[in-house]
């Protein structure tokens, strides 16, 4: 069965959100609530999109997606394509949808003059890590991802002292 990759449009928002919910279940995370889904649709498919989505289809059915945006590397002085999500429905894996999405992303990165593509993988997802390493991607062992959320962002923005660890 062949895989087609195309850019998602506003009419695809419900299908993309269904895939986001499936990804959350797969990653054992809480799915977005109704308010988050509304923000997602606005931020991805509204007048000022913050990200782009590619869809993988087989037999006319959407089976996977890649959500990405661009950051910038100061040292390379080139954009970086950041892949936020890559997900293919479990029943549609091994059909080439993930590879087709990654090839389309690589072509986009080349077209945009990117110096690199980057993404994160959960440490327990050995299947994905092995696949990415097979593509030639390397884990950045010397880098550690940090995150501020909700109240901590507000506290920092307001100049309030951060609690000691």
Q: Do the beta carbons of residue 116 and residue 76 sit within 8 Å? A: yes
β-strand 61-73 against 52-58: which pairing, if any? antiparallel
Q: What is the CB neighbour count within 10 angstroms for residue 21? A: 13
72 catalytic per annotation: no
CA separation, residue 138 to residues 125, 129, 141 (Å) = 15, 9, 9
d(C-alpha 88, C-alpha 113), whole Å = 27
Please pick, among 26, 65, 72, 132, the residue that the annotation labels catalytic. Answer: 132
Q: List the catalytic residues.
A: 132
């Amino acid at each position: 069965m062949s895989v087609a990759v195309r850019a998602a449009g506003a009419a695809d928002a419900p299908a993309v959100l269904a895939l986001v919910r499936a990804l959350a279940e797969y990653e054992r995370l809480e799915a977005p609530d109704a308010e988050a889904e509304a923000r997602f649709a606005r931020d991805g498919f509204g007048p000022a999109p913050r990200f782009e989505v590619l869809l993988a289809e087989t037999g006319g059915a959407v089976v996977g997606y890649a959500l990405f945006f661009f950051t910038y590397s100061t040292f390379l002085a080139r954009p970086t394509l950041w892949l936020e999500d890559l997900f293919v429905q479990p029943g549609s894996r091994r059909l080439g949808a993930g590879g087709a999405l990654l090839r389309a992303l690589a072509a986009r990165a080349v077209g945009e003059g990117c110096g690199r593509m980057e993404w994160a993988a959960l440490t327990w997802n050995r299947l994905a890590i092995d696949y990415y390493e097979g593509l030639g991607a390397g884990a950045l062992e010397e880098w550690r991802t940090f995150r501020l959320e909700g109240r901590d962002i507000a506290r920092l923005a307001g100049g309030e002292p951060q609690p000691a660890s």
